[in-house]
Structure 1
Amino acid sequence: MRLRLLPNIVLLFVATACCNAGTDSSPNAAPSESAAPPLPSAAAPSAPFASAAEAPAPAPTATRQIAGAAHILIAWKGAERAPKTVTRTKDEAKKRAGEVLAQVKDGKQTFEELVAKYTDDTVSKAANGAIGNFERNAMPPAFADATFAMEVGTISDVVETAQGYHIIKRTR
Structure 2
Amino acid sequence: MNIETHVLKGNGRIPNSRLPVLIYRQVFDMPPPEMEDLFRDNEWPTDWHSSFGMYPRHHFHSDTHELIAVTRGTLVGRFGGPEGVSVTMTKGDFVVIPAGVGHFGESITADLRLTGAFPIGHAIHDFRLGYVEEYARMVDRSQRVAIPALDPLQGAAGPLPQIWHDALGGRH
Shorter-chain TM-score bucket reads under 0.3
Q: Which has the higher strand share?
A: 2
**TM-score when normalising by structure 2:** 0.22
TM-score, normalised relative to structure 1: 0.22
More helix by share: 1
Find the structure with the greater CA-based Rg: 1
The structure with higher relative contact order (CA 8 Å, sep 6+) is 2
